[in-house]
Structure formats: structure tokens, C-alpha cells
Amino acid sequence: MQNLPTYDEVVAAAGRLDGHAHRTPVLRSRTADERWGASFFFKCENFQRMGAFKFRGAFNALSKFDPAQRRAGAIAFSSGNHAQAIALAARELGMPAVIVMPTDAPAAKLAATRGYGAEVVLYDRFTEDREALARRLSEERGMTLIPPYDHPDVIAGQGTAVKELIEDTGPLDALFVCLGGGGLTSGSALSARALSPGCRIYGVEPEAGNDGQQSLRAGRIVHIETPRTIADGAQTQHLGNYTFPLIQRDVDDILTVSDAQLVEGMRFFAERMKMVVEPTGCLGFAAACAAGASIAGQRVGVVISGGNVDLQRFASLLSAS
Ligand SMILES: *Cc1c(COP(=O)(O)O)cnc(C)c1O
């Protein structure tokens, strides 16, 4: 098996991110503590640069490039937060970036990615294979392809958020992390195992896309169709060759929540904590709320993974329920 990243690599990533990524705040909520009978610590990556934790992994991966890689730049395929993270990290490090996006990606996302200075290459979702296109571009231009989660430097970068959380709060009894392809969860688990060994660690997926839960139960990576869920950052079809073994080793369980529970989380964050959190960013909190008696009296860490949601969509999700 390939070499899995370790906590030492999370520490090295934190050094590279220093002065580039925000040390995001850890917020408390008396209302949440009283309602659920626990002490909550919210790590607010919705306040990270470009609005999500993904900047951490992208910046760490790109800052490890050698001079030839820096000259040629980075390439990514994504229509979500990873695209913007690679674009911003590349600009910050003064290297070119190409992002492969579908022709029907939301105009706001195309504009945001171009706004960070990246070149956008469009492909037709119905007739073209984006991975093949990205691979061809990377060969033609010598650019380095950075995947959204299954890469040791990406995982180590994502792990810095929970490193900061536990440094700020002290040991935790339980930690709830949003789970898509598992970069954030496996990196978080490296930090939690090192800094708070007794902490129970949970990855949280949308009910409709529980490939991670199935994989943990089956003991192998289970592939699913693209799930239908409002958690667009967790519509991944499978865990990765790095993230799965780390999750298998270090994560206690994978839980699921419904879209309705995610909307309740969005409402709570907006109403009580005055924060805009995207649906995927509510996965961890929604599962913690559903955990009931098992977290009573405990110190509970919750990673809020991002805040990038179109305001019109935000309003319609909240008014529909
Ligand atoms: C990418 C993303 C996730 C899922 O992260 P993985 O590393 O793929 O598990 C969760 N929340 C937000 C906001 C994201 O952008």
C-alpha cells in the first residue's frame, strides 16, 4: 500500500499555511449547548479564504511544487470549492492554473474562478470525459493535476483545521466532520488522534450518498451513482485510495443525515449564530444534534466546512421547509 500521510505532515502543512490561510474562529452557542445538553465548539471554515476549508489542502499541495512544476502550474477539474481553492492558491503562489469546468456550471462559479485569475477550460458534461480532458491538458502543458481529496498533501492541509480547533479548545469527547471524498475527515482524524486520543471521530454524509458508510461496513471502497442531495460538496461517488484506509483506521463511525436535517442546521446557524453556511457545511452539526443522549454533558467539536451558497438558493431552501 502507498504511504499514508501522518500527523507530522499536518504539522508541516500548518507551517506552510501560516500567513496565507486564516486561523478561523472557534465559536460557541449557549442556545445550542442548552438545547442539546453538550458543550459545542464550532470550527468555522465558512470564514476561511474563498469560503471553505479547501484552500488549506490546495495551498499545501501547490506550495510543495518544485521549480519546474511551479512554472507550468496546476490543473484541477471541479465545479465546486476545490476549483476556487486551486485558483486562489495558484494566484497566491504566482503560478498559472487551469480549471476544467462543465459548460453548464453556474455563471457565478465561472466568474469567481476566473476572478481568482485561473484559466477556465469548458467541457460538455454529456459528450466529454473531464478526467481525460484534464489529463490531456496536463500532459500537453506539463501542468500538475491536483485531485480534490485523494492526495497526501491535500489530506495533510485539510487536517490543519482540526489541529487549530483542538489547540484552541483542549481535548474533545467527540468530533463531527462533513464527509464527501474524505480528505477533510481523514486529515481531521490525523489531528484528533494525535491531540485528543480519546476523542470519538465521526464522518457525516448525506443519507442519499452514503457510499462512505457502505464502504466502512463492507471493508472496501463502494462506488455509487452521483447522489441527489442538497449537499453539493458531498456528491462524491466513492472514497479514495488514501482517504479510505485512513478513515478505516482512525474514524469511529460514519453517520448520515437527511436534506431536511441540513436545512434545519442552516436555519439554526442563520437565526442563532448569524452565519451563512452552505448545505454541505451543516452535515457535522446535523449529526451531532441527532446524536441525542450519547453526547450529553460532553465536549463536542463540529467542523463547519464552508459557506458558499448562492443567496437565492439559501433563501429558497429556508422558505421551502
Ligand atoms: C469538499 C467539501 C466537503 C467534503 O470534503 P471531502 O474532503 O471531499 O470529504 C465538505 N464541505 C464542503 C463545504 C466542501 O467544499
DSSP string, 37-94: TSEEEEEEGGGSGGGBTHHHHHHHHHHT--HHHHHH-EEEE-SSHHHHHHHHHHHHTT
- What is the C-alpha separation between 169 and 41, in angstroms, rounded? 8
Residue 222 confidence class, pLDDT cut points 50, 70, 90? very high
The predicted structure's pLDDT at residue 1: 55
Mean pLDDT rounded to a whole number for the chain: 95
Residue 176 vs residues 41, 88, 100, 205: alpha-carbon distances, Å: 10, 27, 31, 11
Tell me: pLDDT of 182 over 90. yes
User: Do 59 and 21 form a contact (C-beta atoms < 8 A)?
Assistant: yes
* pLDDT tens-digit series, residues 97-131: 999 998 888 787 888 899 999 999 999 878 888 88
The predicted structure's pLDDT at residue 190: 98
- 297 CA from centroid of ligand 1 (Å): 29
The rounded Cα 93 to chain-centroid distance in angstroms is: 21
Best of 84, 88, 178, 226 for a ligand 1 pocket test (most atoms within 8 Å of beta carbon): 178
Tell me: pLDDT of 40 over 70. yes
User: Do 113 and 84 form a contact (C-beta atoms < 8 A)?
Assistant: yes
Cell numbers found for residue 33: 449547548
Kindly list the catalytic residues.
Answer: 54, 79, 205, 209, 211, 305
Residue 313 vs residues 108, 195, 211, 231, 291: alpha-carbon distances, Å: 13, 38, 26, 12, 28
User: Do 160 and 190 form a contact (C-beta atoms < 8 A)?
Assistant: no
Q: What is the pTM of this model?
A: 0.96
User: Do 93 and 70 form a contact (C-beta atoms < 8 A)?
Assistant: yes
Tell me: pLDDT of 85 over 70. yes
How many other CB atoms are found less than 10 A from the CB of residue 129?
12
Residues at CB less than 6 angstroms from ligand 1: 52, 54, 80-81, 148-149, 178-185, 233-234, 236, 278, 280-281, 305-306
Residue 11 confidence class, pLDDT cut points 50, 70, 90? very high
